[in-house]
Amino acid sequence: MQAEQGLPVSSRALGMAQLVVSELVTNARKHAPGPCVMTLEADDGAVAVTVWDSCATLPQILPPDPARVGQHGLEIVMALCRSFEVHREPVGKRIRASVVLADDPDGDAAGRRPM
Protein backbone atom coordinates (compact mmCIF):
# COMPACT_ATOMS: atom_id res chain seq x y z
CA MET A 1 0.00 0.00 0.00
CA GLN A 2 2.90 2.30 0.69
CA ALA A 3 4.63 1.50 -2.59
CA GLU A 4 1.54 1.31 -4.81
CA GLN A 5 -0.77 3.92 -3.26
CA GLY A 6 1.70 6.23 -1.53
CA LEU A 7 0.07 5.76 1.88
CA PRO A 8 2.42 6.43 4.81
CA VAL A 9 3.05 3.26 6.81
CA SER A 10 5.15 3.36 9.96
CA SER A 11 7.34 0.38 10.79
CA ARG A 12 5.24 -0.08 13.94
CA ALA A 13 2.02 -0.20 11.89
CA LEU A 14 3.62 -2.65 9.43
CA GLY A 15 4.54 -4.98 12.28
CA MET A 16 1.07 -4.69 13.81
CA ALA A 17 -0.60 -5.48 10.46
CA GLN A 18 1.67 -8.49 9.96
CA LEU A 19 0.81 -9.79 13.43
CA VAL A 20 -2.94 -9.33 12.82
CA VAL A 21 -2.70 -11.17 9.47
CA SER A 22 -0.71 -13.98 11.10
CA GLU A 23 -3.16 -14.42 13.99
CA LEU A 24 -6.33 -14.34 11.85
CA VAL A 25 -5.03 -16.66 9.13
CA THR A 26 -3.53 -19.06 11.68
CA ASN A 27 -6.88 -19.26 13.51
CA ALA A 28 -8.71 -19.92 10.23
CA ARG A 29 -6.28 -22.66 9.21
CA LYS A 30 -6.30 -24.21 12.68
CA HIS A 31 -10.07 -24.20 13.35
CA ALA A 32 -11.82 -24.35 9.95
CA PRO A 33 -12.14 -27.63 8.05
CA GLY A 34 -11.86 -26.10 4.58
CA PRO A 35 -10.22 -23.25 2.74
CA CYS A 36 -9.77 -19.67 3.91
CA VAL A 37 -9.41 -16.42 1.98
CA MET A 38 -7.62 -13.28 3.13
CA THR A 39 -7.92 -9.81 1.59
CA LEU A 40 -6.21 -6.51 2.39
CA GLU A 41 -7.85 -3.19 1.55
CA ALA A 42 -6.85 0.41 2.14
CA ASP A 43 -9.66 2.08 4.08
CA ASP A 44 -9.52 5.61 5.55
CA GLY A 45 -5.83 5.61 6.53
CA ALA A 46 -5.93 2.01 7.69
CA VAL A 47 -5.52 -1.46 6.28
CA ALA A 48 -8.57 -3.68 6.60
CA VAL A 49 -7.60 -7.33 7.01
CA THR A 50 -10.49 -9.62 6.15
CA VAL A 51 -10.36 -13.39 6.59
CA TRP A 52 -13.16 -15.70 5.51
CA ASP A 53 -13.21 -19.35 6.52
CA SER A 54 -15.66 -22.21 6.11
CA CYS A 55 -16.37 -22.80 9.83
CA ALA A 56 -19.64 -21.29 11.07
CA THR A 57 -18.53 -21.27 14.72
CA LEU A 58 -17.83 -17.70 15.82
CA PRO A 59 -14.56 -17.10 17.64
CA GLN A 60 -14.66 -17.00 21.40
CA ILE A 61 -12.89 -13.92 22.70
CA LEU A 62 -11.69 -14.71 26.17
CA PRO A 63 -11.04 -12.07 28.83
CA PRO A 64 -7.39 -11.33 29.58
CA ASP A 65 -5.83 -13.94 31.85
CA PRO A 66 -2.06 -13.88 32.32
CA ALA A 67 -2.17 -17.39 33.83
CA ARG A 68 -3.75 -18.90 30.69
CA VAL A 69 -1.31 -20.65 28.38
CA GLY A 70 -2.17 -19.93 24.74
CA GLN A 71 -5.41 -18.64 23.22
CA HIS A 72 -4.32 -14.99 23.40
CA GLY A 73 -4.42 -14.37 19.63
CA LEU A 74 -7.75 -12.55 19.39
CA GLU A 75 -6.99 -10.67 22.59
CA ILE A 76 -3.83 -9.36 20.88
CA VAL A 77 -5.67 -8.58 17.64
CA MET A 78 -8.34 -6.59 19.47
CA ALA A 79 -5.67 -4.61 21.36
CA LEU A 80 -3.91 -3.66 18.10
CA CYS A 81 -6.89 -2.83 15.90
CA ARG A 82 -9.05 0.24 15.46
CA SER A 83 -12.02 -2.01 14.74
CA PHE A 84 -12.85 -5.73 14.87
CA GLU A 85 -15.97 -7.31 13.37
CA VAL A 86 -17.25 -10.86 12.97
CA HIS A 87 -20.05 -11.69 10.51
CA ARG A 88 -21.77 -14.98 9.80
CA GLU A 89 -21.87 -15.84 6.11
CA PRO A 90 -24.11 -18.33 4.24
CA VAL A 91 -21.07 -20.59 4.50
CA GLY A 92 -18.69 -19.93 7.38
CA LYS A 93 -17.78 -16.53 8.78
CA ARG A 94 -15.89 -13.38 7.87
CA ILE A 95 -13.62 -11.55 10.33
CA ARG A 96 -12.49 -8.01 9.57
CA ALA A 97 -9.91 -6.06 11.57
CA SER A 98 -8.64 -2.57 10.77
CA VAL A 99 -5.08 -1.41 11.60
CA VAL A 100 -4.17 2.29 11.35
CA LEU A 101 -1.21 2.74 8.98
CA ALA A 102 0.55 5.82 10.34
CA ASP A 103 1.61 6.77 13.83
CA ASP A 104 -0.20 9.64 15.52
CA PRO A 105 1.56 13.00 15.00
CA ASP A 106 1.90 13.26 18.80
CA GLY A 107 3.98 10.08 18.84
CA ASP A 108 1.33 7.69 20.14
CA ALA A 109 1.29 4.21 18.65
CA ALA A 110 -0.72 3.89 15.46
CA GLY A 111 -4.41 3.84 16.14
CA ARG A 112 -4.09 3.93 19.93
CA ARG A 113 -4.84 6.79 22.26
CA PRO A 114 -3.61 7.09 25.86
CA MET A 115 -6.33 6.41 28.43
What digits encode the pLDDT tens for the residues 56-85? 999 988 787 888 887 778 888 988 999 999
Q: How high is the pLDDT of residue 7?
A: 76
Q: Would the pLDDT of 114 be above 50?
A: no
CA distance 113 to 106: 10
Helices within the chain (DSSP H only): 2-5, 11-31, 73-80
Residues with Cβ within 8 Å of 27's Cβ and at least 6 positions away in sequence, in order, are: 51, 59, 73, 74
Mean pLDDT, the chain, integer: 85
